[in-house]
Amino acid sequence: MFWWRSSENFMQLQDELAGTENRLSVGRTRYNEIVGDFNATVRRFPTNLYAHTFNFAEEPFYPVSPEAKQVPQVDFGQPATPGS
């Protein structure tokens, strides 16, 4: 019956990994949306006058590398042997 518990733990780990990836993606998207709104406000008249007066400048977007868009590969194959 131990294999059943291991299977449950593995499924829970997969769910947690998927949830973490989703939260990261949502966070990046929200950040970039807010930065886009901020940058538009900094450029728009008359707020650009205030932005220039108080040294507000456009902020960079959060870069997303192609590797970050890929689903991470997790190898649960052979367990590591001591000494290797």
In a domain, 49, yes or no: yes
How would DSSP label each residue in 14-43?
HHHHHHHHHHHHHHHHHHHHHHHHHHHHHH
Whether pLDDT at 71 is above 80:
no
Query: How far is Cα of residue 71 from the mean position of the Cα atoms in its chain?
Result: 12
In a domain, 2, yes or no: no
Tokens coding 55: 């040294």
Domain of residue 41, residue span: 19-60
In a domain, 84, yes or no: no
Global pTM value: 0.65
Whether pLDDT at 46 is above 60:
yes
Classify residue 46 as exposed, middle or buried by CB count within 10 Å of its CB (0-12, 13-18, 19+): exposed
Q: Identify the pLDDT of residue 26.
A: 92
In a domain, 52, yes or no: yes
In a domain, 70, yes or no: no
In a domain, 7, yes or no: no
In a domain, 82, yes or no: no
Nearest to 51 by CA among 37, 38, 34, 66: 38
Tally of structural domains, the chain = 1
